[in-house]
Amino acid sequence: MNRGVVLQSSSSQFWKRFCHNQLAVVGLVTILIFMLLAIFAPLLTPYDPNRANLRERNQPPSKEHWFGTDDMGRDILARTLYGGRISLSVGLVSVGISLSLGLSLGSIAGYFGGIVDTLIMRVADVFYSFPFLILAITISAIFGPSIYNTMIILGVLSWPGPARLIRGEFLKLKETDYVAAATALGAKPSRVMFRHILPNGFSSLLVSATLGVASAILSEAGLSFLGLGVPPPAPSWGNMLNRARPLHILANMPWMWLAPGLAIFLIVLSINFVGDGLRDAFDPRQDRCTLD
């Protein structure tokens, strides 16, 4: 059978299983909406997210400012839209860093085994032995708040999860007949690893990466809320919540925390829905469930 036909059929079955999960579809649409809002933010609001206007500080939602203004007179809608750029970028870049490290180290550990596997997994255990958020706060306090520091810190601290996952896939798949055949024919280890094993174990890694983006967005929000993530005046959903910490703002000016808080809630929930949908879509057993 033509390989292109097989791939097209597999892709069709994948999307059929994915679309069968209605929450996953809603989550995907929500994520796309947030991404479009972040990309086209300059076209959607006339206000500069960093420009203060003390004459209009603490204004409730109105025709001029749909989401109101903060304690510096800055438009909340503009800061929420532009903040989405930073929060989503931190999530995607940090997961990209963790996947690169986890994929490289996990595949090496799973394929070669022995002392290499032991050494890499013991290093992963060291990372696991420290509470993630406490370690991230400590390192952020040492190097100072910065969007780039936040991306690197979250990415470097998150690699053990993908590494363990891909290691398990390599340990399982390297015993299969097609891998043994490729090795017997003289294929180089790099070709066997990335040509024959990795494509068959990539689905679980993709699901993990999807959920990792949600975790990274929450972590960035937590660090920024504590003043150790994205530094002001650049807007992120986390440091917008940080500005709304005083009790009188929480009680009397809900528009200052409602928009960024709702944005974090919706994007994280949507990413989790998509992750569940991908997990089901990659599972062939879902075909049987669909038919039932």
Cβ proximity of 280 and 288 under 8 Å: no
pLDDT at 290 over 60: no
Distance (Å, whole) CA 67 – CA 193: 51
Residue 187: predicted pLDDT: 77
In contact, 110 and 171? CB cutoff 8 Å: yes
SS3 221: helix
The amino acid at residue 19 is C
The more confidently predicted of residues 230 and 34 is 34
From CA 186, how far away is CA 204, in angstroms rounded? 28
Beta bridge partners of 69: 75
The sign of the dihedral angle between the CA atoms of 68, 72, 78, 80 is negative
> Over the stretch 147-185, which tens digit does the pLDDT of each residue have?
999 999 999 999 999 999 889 888 888 878 777 787 787
Is residue 278 scored above 90 in pLDDT?
no
CB 210 within 8 A of CB 37: no
Cβ neighbours, 10 Å, residue 291:
6
Give CATH superfamily name and number for 14-38+76-291.
MetI-like (1.10.3720.10)
Q: Is the pLDDT of residue 7 over 70?
A: no
Instruction: Encode pLDDT of 22-63 as tens digits.
Output: 999 999 999 999 999 999 999 999 999 998 888 899 899 999
267 has pLDDT over 90: yes
Three-state DSSP class for 250?
Answer: helix
Two structure tokens written together for 263 = 């944005």
Q: Please give the structure tokens belonging to residue 261.
A: 């808080």
90, 217 Cβ separation under 8 angstroms: yes
- Find out whether 239 and 232 touch, Cβ atoms under 8 Å: yes
- The share of the chain scoring above pLDDT 90, in percent, equals 42
In the structure, what pLDDT confidence band is assigned to residue 6 with cuts at 50, 70 and 90?
A: very low
pLDDT above 90 (res 276): no
Q: What are the boundaries of each domain within the chain?
A: 14-38+76-291
Q: Which of 265, 228, 259 is nearest to 244 (CA)?
A: 259
Q: Which residue has the higher pLDDT, 6 or 176?
A: 176
Q: What share of the chain in percent tops pLDDT 70?
A: 93
**In which band, very low, low, confident or very high, does the pLDDT at 5 lie, cut at 50, 70 and 90?**
very low
Using the structure block, give the residue that is written with the tokens 């206007």: 53
DSSP, collapsed to helix, strand or coil, labels residue 62 as: coil
H helix runs in 233-254, sequence order: 237-243, 247-252
DSSP labels for 105-135?
Answer: HHHHHHHH-HHHHHHHHHHHHHHHTS-HHHH
Segment 244-260 shows an average pLDDT of 89
Name the nearest CA neighbour of 109 among 193, 212, 203: 193
What is the per-residue pLDDT across 95-105, written as a single tens digit (0 to 9) for each? 999 999 998 89
Q: Is 80 exceeded by the pLDDT of residue 132?
A: yes
Rg of the Cα atoms in the chain: 23
What is the predicted pLDDT for the residue at 120? 93
Cβ atoms of 275 and 214 within 8 Å: the answer is yes
Q: What mean pLDDT is reported for the chain?
A: 86
Side-chain-facing half-sphere of 138: CA atoms under 13 Å: 7
- Cis ω on the peptide bond leading into residue 49 (within 30° of 0)? no
Q: Is the pLDDT of residue 260 over 80?
A: yes
- C-alpha span between 3 and 292 (Å, rounded): 29
